[in-house]
Amino acid sequence: MLVTIARVLDGPALQRVRGLLAELRFVDGRGSAGGDARRVKNNEEADPADQRIQELNRLVLLPLYRHRLFQAAAMPKRLSGAFFARYQPGMQYGPHVDDPVMGPEGGRYRSDVSMTVFLNATADYEGGELLVETEYGEQRVKLDAGDAVVYPSSSLHRVAPVSRGERMVAVAWAESMVREPERRRLLYDLQQVEDTLRAVDPDADVTRRTGRVRANLMRMWADV
């Protein structure tokens, strides 16, 4: 399941994020890649040792984590910090699957859901689309500044070469309370149906029954 979320970051937040990133040193992005991903990765990332990364994480990840659509799609149990990636002309990220287990010793987490927050306008660069293999074929994603996309970390995905300008994104991962992507999709679909029913008639029997089914499936499947 691939879900896009519009306007996670507003104008002032984006301005602050871009201002901070303009001050940071960028390093070879291969340093954070594992396995075969290191071989196909060609980008730069803001130096993770810089203390300002903590503020960037608060600015970018807190609004995403609190967003109702993200909660419904990811059902997060743990959320990683973000990597702030820069793609300049000629840079790309070849086909890969994200590492199944990430994080430092003592802070390991399973990567169930991957997320990308776009930090600059689509007009700022050419190419650089995120391409994700889904059951419906390869999906091409290039969103406005402040928008986000979430998708299963088990998906084969890549970033197309940038041919002009500069692509700036934040990428992060979540361990979900519901491990199986198929179950997360069922719960997400039920949440959308329940929200629609509540908007029409919150006291209807079908609304209550739908909510009960979703809650009890979550109770059955959630690992907290």
Phi and psi at residue 207, to the nearest 5°: -65, -45
Same structural domain, 172 and 191 = no
Q: Which of 158, 176, 194 is the last residue of a domain?
A: 176
Same structural domain, 149 and 190 = no
pLDDT at 36: 75
Radius of gyration of the chain (CA): 18
Same structural domain, 153 and 195 = no
- The answer, yes or no, to whether residue 106 has pLDDT greater than 90, is no
CA 77 to chain centre: 14
* Amino acid letter for position 129: E
pLDDT at 18: 97
Same structural domain, 52 and 151 = yes
Q: Percentage of residues in the chain with pLDDT exceeding 90? A: 92
Cα distance between residue 13 and residue 17, in whole Å: 6
- The answer, yes or no, to whether residue 125 has pLDDT greater than 80, is yes
Same structural domain, 171 and 185 = no
- Determine which helix (DSSP H) or strand (DSSP E) holds 151, and give its type and residue range: strand 148-152
Same structural domain, 96 and 165 = yes
pLDDT at 114: 98
Cα distance between residue 120 and residue 102, in whole Å: 27
Q: What's the pLDDT tens digit per position in 163-214?
A: 999 999 999 999 999 999 999 999 999 999 999 999 999 999 999 999 999 9
Phi and psi at residue 201, to the nearest 5°: -155, 90
Of 181, 178, 117, the C-alpha closest to 153 is: 181
Q: What is the pTM of this model?
A: 0.95
Same structural domain, 171 and 187 = no
Give the domain CATH number at 156: 2.60.120.620
Same structural domain, 54 and 73 = yes
Q: Percentage of residues in the chain with pLDDT exceeding 70? A: 100
Same structural domain, 187 and 129 = no
Taking the alpha carbons of 172, 177, 181, 187 in that order, is the dihedral positive or negative? Answer: negative
Cα distance between residue 32 and residue 45, in whole Å: 9
Cα distance between residue 224 and residue 222, in whole Å: 6
Cα distance between residue 122 and residue 215, in whole Å: 39
Cα distance between residue 92 and residue 161, in whole Å: 4
Contacts of 164 (CB under 8 A, 6+ apart): 89, 125, 126, 127
Same structural domain, 43 and 57 = yes
Q: What's the pLDDT tens digit per position in 129-151?
A: 999 999 889 999 999 999 999 99
156 pLDDT band, cuts 50/70/90, is: very high
**Which single residue is written with the structure tokens 């600015």?**
59
Q: What's the pLDDT tens digit per position in 13-56?
A: 999 999 999 999 999 999 887 777 789 999 999 999 999 999 99
Same structural domain, 163 and 195 = no
- What domain count does the chain have? 2
Same structural domain, 209 and 122 = no
The maximal CA–CA distance of the chain, rounded, in angstroms, is 57
> Which range of residues forms the domain containing residue 56?
3-176
- Contact criterion met (CB below 8 Å) for 132 and 141: yes
Mean pLDDT value of segment 61-76 = 97
